[in-house]
Structure 1
Amino acid sequence: MAGNRDDEFDFREIKEGDNGSDVVDTTSESSDATKENGDKTEYEDVCFVCRRPESKAGKMFHLPNNICICNDCMQKTMDTVSQFDYQNMLNNPNLMNELNKNTNGFPGFGFFGMGDQPFGGIPNSQKIKKKSESKVKPAFDIKNIPAPHKIKAKLDEYVIGQDQAKKVMSVAVYNHYKRVATDTMDDIEIEKSNILLLGPTGSGKTYLVKTLAKLLDVPLAIADATSLTEAGYIGDDIESVVSKLLAAAGNDVEKTEHGIIFIDEIDKIAKKKNTTARDVSGESVQQGMLKLLEGSNVEVPVGAGSKNAMVPLTTVNTRNILFICGGAFPDLEEIITQRLNKKTSIGFDADLKDKYEDDPNLLSNVTVEDLKKFGMIPEFLGRLPIICTLQALDKEMLIQILKEPKNAILKQYQKLLALDEVDLRFDDSALEAIAEKALEKDTGARALRAIIEDFMLDIMYEIPKDENIGRVTITRDYIEKKASPLIEIRGESFQPRIPQFNTEAAKQV
């Protein structure tokens, strides 16, 4: 086995009953004791050396006294042992058994330093419980992607408005996974089409990508460009976005190479203007992402966010990974307005200079030249051939978002009160009042939940006190804090009763 120092020692050769060793190889299949023990099925095995769980380090080698060692640590240990001349000892079963029974100076400890003493196991409080397998079937099969109009129809059930963005993403995803499935069977190689999403905050960029990944059941990693820095500086390396995708795929490299990476806040890595300092979080990050977007082999750490000596690395090819970059680009409207105003001329057909000032969908007129002036380098934009803009949400769209999607906010609260056998209803005037308040906050759909959480607090607190309440109706006056909600009692005719809530609105009534 390990006769010479130069010979490579393979720990996989050690089996139970071979050369007197007690090591059990579990890389191929789990032992029967693991299946019979309830604690083992509930908790993950944790490596005794590096303390990584089974989900991060892979299957373990089970040693005596409930000690587990991962593949990497066992290989490192055996590589160290193989540097010394242990040929006679390892090939002598009697000597190995004698060492395992008693070692001079360390009674009770075996050859590996872990004998019959009860110290070796890791308590369950330090272990990670195994994740239960999800039984939810995806809407689509990645090997049989439906037509773009069917993908858009599914997106319509969850996302309100943004028809152009949903159409663009449906076609891009359809073409991308057809490209992955065919794997360029002939001489014509189909290039990857990454997407750049532009839209004001709260318009649904992240939610659109999350919904799409859930429908396709593909690994999705959402990264924030604000934390990325050039290699060698404090912050996340550019490869960390691929490492997050690898973790989302359960450390499965094959699934990772067919996943989706969404990089949010991409406008924050624009070139810094009027600065003499090194731009480690701006233009340098764009340059570092060029090969990542185009497709290359990247070494990423397994189970960690950064590379170090204690974390193993694996190679991931980003050629078939779909990159979607999104950002609000807050100052881009001014650049677009300046460009459009230059077209104004003198005469009857001339445009007014203030024509584009109050246009909510000004981003739809964006061009590559505008993005270059904003601070994005041409090489970076060239690898994002699809530029899609999302519309700003108006009052009607906000009302639709409140009540129409499958997981609408109002449906969530109606389900919560339905568990208490209470019927929650909203007047149309109340929905309009909520939408008007959301428009004033100017944060898009994110403002809806903040407003609803505010006025639903008293209702969620007071309603469970009285079991006779059967229906609650939210009105515009209650949203504007002029009155209390309308309450109807079970078994009575529909005569509203105003409860005495401990609020200023109730005192006014």
Structure 2
Amino acid sequence: MTNVVDIETCSFCGANKKEKKLVGSDISYICEDCTDLVKSQFKSNAIQELSAVQNKEDLKKIFAGLNHLKPANLKAILDKQIVSQEQAKKLCSLALYEHLKRKAIHKAGDKVEGVTLDKPNMLLLGSTGVGKTEISRILTKSCNLPMVTIDCTSLTEAGYVGDSVDDIIRSLLVKADDDVEAAEWGIVFLDEVDKLCSRHSVNTTADVGGQGVQDALLKLIEGTEIRVQSNGGRKTSGSSQVVIDTSNILFISSGAFTGIDEKQTPASIGFLRKDHEKEDAQDPLSAYDDIEVKDIVKFGLSPEFIGRFSILVPFKNLSRDDLVSILKNADNSVLKKITFSAYLDGTDLEFSDEALIAIADVAAKLKVGARALSQVLYRTLEDIRYNSSNAALGSVLVTKEMVLDKNKGINNNEPK
């Protein structure tokens, strides 16, 4: 007959009661060493839970340091320099703030409760000269982040003449003064991304600037490691190669996508198009509001590429009132620059309200948004500015008639 004492062993390590002190019941036992081990494990789990709470508190403190960069504060900065585009300013300000939050979380341990924030990559949709690049530039400067602007028309696949996607990261590192960490949290602004839309057919040559470039950019946007030359990209005795992880770089794409609104309504062509549809198509306030991902895919960007941009930001075309407001109210507007320059030469320029409206009307005909204001103003004031540079002219009033007379060519001809 087996003695019950002989089968009393620790359920964890197997030691019997002769070897170690056991506690338990008739079913299972545990020795004092294993008891201490279990207590230690419970204590470790409790410390981890406490640490998680402390991390949350640390994050709150870190975010408190971002209070001056809250979306409302960033938008207030934009309001001083960007006229109109209320929706775009809100969306872009929010995206930049989310980017800064991701950076703060990364410093605190990258993850909170198992959740990782996605990159708020943006695609800006709008005609030329409506403020897409300027908004991105102002926000980036306000957040003290390095940004590089890339003209997508210059990009080609590796092996062809032109800039490769690796050059983008090299340029960003230069902007970051060779600070790898700053570059890895910087911003890449892809201008004229609509020019990458694939338009080749069976009978055309290789699409070296289209689908192939989209595929190469896709790797950067998703996140990869790129080895680039430091020291401004120059190979010198003091330079070396560094590895840049693109996982946290914010990508902002921008394009006019000319004609995409027409592709949305293929039935509204020719005699099938009704008068009210013409009016809707010409509405400057809603030209890009209804653009969806499927429309951009039809236009030529791949689903995989466009799928990496979680935020679509529509920009409205600028009305005459918008252009006048830019002249009068925007900080550092071209009108204020020209007026100040003339003042330094002893000439006080004044503009009648009718003159400002005429400038806006003529500029609108150039179809390049706010960029046209400079061209119209300089053409209008070329004689006055030349003469005032040589001798003070005192007070000069710029009238509607002066604007129209100096811009006859623009006023009577549509741009090619």
- For the aligned pair, the TM-score class normalised by the smaller chain equals 0.7 to 0.9
* 1:269 maps to amino acid: L
* 1:148 maps to amino acid: P
Query: Retained in 2: the 8 A contact 1:142–1:177?
Result: no
2-structure distance, mates of 1:311, 1:339: 59
2:182 matches 1:182: no
2-structure distance, mates of 1:217, 1:317: 20
Alignment of 1:48-127 (within 5 A): none
Deviation of the 1:290 alpha carbon: 1.3
2:177 corresponds, among 242, 250, 258, to 250
1-structure distance, mates of 2:297, 2:97: 29
2-structure distance, mates of 1:381, 1:306: 33
User: Normalising by structure 1, what TM-score?
Assistant: 0.62
Matched position secondary structure for 1:298: strand
What residue number does 2:55 align with? none
Q: Deviations over 1:229-258 (max 9, x none)?
A: 112222111121111111111111111112
Q: CA RMSD in A?
A: 2.6
What residue number does 2:249 align with? 321
Alignment of 1:427-438 (within 5 A): 427-438=352-363
Query: Retained in 2: the 8 A contact 1:145–1:174?
Result: no
Rate the CA distance shift 1:202–1:339 in 2: closer, same or farther, 3 A. farther
Rate the CA distance shift 1:339–1:146 in 2: closer, same or farther, 3 A. farther
What residue number does 2:346 align with? 421
2:367 matches 1:439: no
2:336 corresponds, among 411, 435, 438, to 411
Q: Deviations over 1:416-438 (max 9, x none)?
A: 12212332211111100100101
1:392 corresponds, among 300, 307, 317, to 317
What residue number does 2:95 align with? 172
What residue number does 2:85 align with? 162
1-structure distance, mates of 2:239, 2:398: 55
Structure with the larger RCO, 1 or 2 (CA within 8 Å, 6+ apart): 2
Q: Deviations over 1:206-235 (max 9, x none)?
A: 111111112222111001111111122221
What residue number does 1:302 align with? 230
What residue number does 1:225 align with? 152
Rate the CA distance shift 1:243–1:144 in 2: closer, same or farther, 3 A. farther
Deviation of the 1:143 alpha carbon: 5.4
Rate the CA distance shift 1:356–1:273 in 2: closer, same or farther, 3 A. farther
Deviation of the 1:440 alpha carbon: 1.4
1-structure distance, mates of 2:86, 2:268: 25
2-structure distance, mates of 1:354, 1:207: 31
2:209 matches 1:286: no
* 1:296 maps to amino acid: T
Query: Retained in 1: the 8 A contact 2:345–2:391?
Result: no
Rate the CA distance shift 1:200–1:270 in 2: closer, same or farther, 3 A. same
Deviation of the 1:474 alpha carbon: 0.8
Matched position secondary structure for 2:100: helix
* 2:259 maps to amino acid: D
2:140 corresponds, among 210, 213, 216, to 213
2:259 matches 1:331: yes
Query: Retained in 1: the 8 A contact 2:78–2:138?
Result: yes
2:292 corresponds, among 354, 361, 367, to 367
2-structure distance, mates of 1:362, 1:173: 25
2:382 corresponds, among 452, 457, 481, to 457
Rate the CA distance shift 1:464–1:383 in 2: closer, same or farther, 3 A. closer
Q: Deviations over 1:259-299 (max 9, x none)?
A: 11101010011112424433221011111111211222222
Q: Deviations over 1:373-410 (max 9, x none)?
A: 10111100110010111110110000011121110111
User: Normalising by structure 2, what TM-score?
Assistant: 0.75
* 1:319 maps to amino acid: S
Matched position secondary structure for 1:326: strand
Rate the CA distance shift 1:339–1:245 in 2: closer, same or farther, 3 A. farther
Matched position secondary structure for 2:288: helix
Query: Retained in 2: the 8 A contact 1:240–1:306?
Result: no
Moved more, 327-336 or 366-375: 327-336
* 1:271 maps to amino acid: S
Would you tell me which structure has more helix in proportion to its own residues? 2
Query: Retained in 1: the 8 A contact 2:221–2:251?
Result: yes
Question: What count of residue pairs does the alignment treat as equivalent?
Answer: 335
2-structure distance, mates of 1:263, 1:308: 29
* 2:374 maps to amino acid: R
Query: Retained in 2: the 8 A contact 1:403–1:409?
Result: no
Percent identity of equivalent pairs: 38
2-structure distance, mates of 1:315, 1:218: 19
Query: Retained in 1: the 8 A contact 2:96–2:139?
Result: no
Matched position secondary structure for 1:442: coil
Rate the CA distance shift 1:377–1:292 in 2: closer, same or farther, 3 A. same
Deviation of the 1:359 alpha carbon: 3.2
What residue number does 1:150 align with? 73
Query: Retained in 1: the 8 A contact 2:287–2:317?
Result: no
